[in-house]
Amino acid sequence: MRIQEVDHDKTLELLRHMRLGRLACAEAAQPYVVPFYFAYENDYLYSFSTVGQKIRWMRANPLVCVQTDEIVSPEEWVSLIIFGHYQELPDTPELKMERDLASDCFSEKTSGGNPAIRKRSSKAPSAL
């Protein structure tokens, strides 16, 4: 097995077509990791979620980590680890453009595959 670092351009190329990852957040000293669907656009990862433990924790501590991978075979795969900050996009007039962009980008790139996006009335769109 040969391990090598992925350069910045290759990372962005991979993110453009990856859709499923694992989101890590923490409260106090307790980490929490959950799978989530995302879409990458303009240096942001967009996702939709119902309000629950991960949203509450990210509101309290916006430092997050995302891990995603593409597995071709046991000998050929790539894993990306991204550090970032959670930013919620509340339903306000000031953020309408950003919410619409997030919604369009996410719907287009995930084909509505995320169960959370099907019930938008209770969603908290966010950008990482």
Containing 53, the helix (H) or strand (E) segment is helix 53-60
- Three-state secondary structure call for residue 91: coil
C-alpha torsion sign, points 75, 77, 83, 88: negative
Could you tell me the domains of the chain? Answer: 8-127 (2.30.110.10)
CA 52, distance to chain mean position in Å, is: 16
pLDDT over 90 at 30, yes or no: yes
pLDDT band at residue 128, thresholds of 50, 70 and 90?
Answer: low
Name the β-bridge partners of 76. 73
In angstroms, the CA 10 to CA 45 distance is: 16
pLDDT over 90 at 62, yes or no: yes
Q: How does the average pLDDT of the chain come out, rounded?
A: 84
Percentage of the chain lying above the pLDDT 70 cut: 83
Six-digit token string for 19: 């859709």
User: The tokens 């795969």 sit on which residue?
Assistant: 77
Integer distance in angstroms from the first to the last C-alpha of the chain? 32
Residue range 80-124, pLDDT digits in tens: 999 999 999 888 999 988 888 888 877 776 655 555 544 544 445
Percentage of the chain lying above the pLDDT 90 cut: 42
